Amino acid sequence: KNQVEQSPQSLIILEGKNCTLQCNYTVSPFSNLRWYKQDTGRGPVSLTIMTFSENTKSNGRYTATLDADTKQSSLHITASQLSDSASYICVVSGYSTLTFGKGTMLLVSP
Amino acid sequence: SQTIHQWPATLVQPVGSPLSLECTVEGTSNPNLYWYRQAAGRGLQLLFYSVGIGQISSEVPQNLSASRPQDRQFILSSKKLLLSDSGFYLCAWSATSGGAGELFFGEGSRLTVL
């Protein structure tokens, strides 16, 4: 069964600090892995998308990594800002399926 | 550029009443369209998807139905709402079918059934 597990479930950090969110998956076959940011009460917005051959991809202060051998991905946020407070969702794509993680709720505190 | 609009943003309905959520996409032709539901503490659940006008695939049997009367219009409906239908509904579109294509979401519709 295809599954995407995210950790931690929630996280509180101080403004300006860095943090790393984890995503483990068992989706097979694998097509790509995406990270989305979802502000409360809004639709998810894509941050990064990585295929099998990509190990890292950046989008501003967001850097995603992918280890296709261990089926793990991480999202690193540098110098966090209050606006980073949101849910971060890992989504793994097979050839014809999308499997969503439950998300990590991040709160950046002043 | 492509945009996706979804409405209403919030809706409070009594049990047994009908439902209609609408979604439209602009700036693209023949998009693949999706309806998702997001319950608190749970991942997004795919409800329906459509690859063309009048073509609807249901992923989860339930009290809801979907229709695609026009190429860029996707409607989520119910004849009689249940308490369990409460949730956050998201419309999305992609340029390609299957799982490989980029998925773009609308702003969501919060439904509360009382």
Rounded Cα gap, residues B113 and B30, in angstroms: 33
Please name the residues in contact with A70: beta carbons below 8 A apart, sequence gap of 6 or more: none
Q: Which residue's entry shows tokens 């296709």?
A: A68
Of A43, A46, A94, the CB nearest to B108: A43
Please judge whether B110 and A41 are an interchain contact, meaning their C-beta atoms are less than 8 angstroms apart: yes
Q: Quote the distance between the C-alpha of residue B104 and its chain's center.
A: 12
CB A32 within 8 A of CB A23: no
Q: For position B98, what pLDDT does the model report?
A: 67
Please judge whether B105 and A31 are an interchain contact, meaning their C-beta atoms are less than 8 angstroms apart: no
Of B44, B99, B110, the CB nearest to A31: B99
Strand partners, B33: B50, B93
pLDDT tens digits for chain A (110 residues)? 889 999 999 999 999 999 999 999 998 888 899 999 999 999 999 999 999 889 999 999 999 999 999 999 999 999 999 999 999 999 999 877 889 999 999 999 99
| pLDDT band per the 50, 70, 90 thresholds, residue B114 | very high
CB B19 within 8 A of CB B83: no
Please judge whether A101 and B43 are an interchain contact, meaning their C-beta atoms are less than 8 angstroms apart: yes
Distance in angstroms between the alpha carbons of the first and the last residue of chain B? 39
Name chain A contacts of B41, Cβ cutoff 8 Å: 102
CB A9 within 8 A of CB A96: no
Three-state DSSP string of chain A = CCCEEEECCEEEEECCCCEEEEEEECCCCCCEEEEEEECCCCCCEEEEEEECCCCEEEECCEEEEEECCCCEEEEEECCCCHHHCEEEEEEEECCCCEEECCCEEEEEEC
Nearest in space to A96 (alpha carbons), one of B32, B37, B12: B32
Percent of residues, chain B, with pLDDT higher than 90:
77
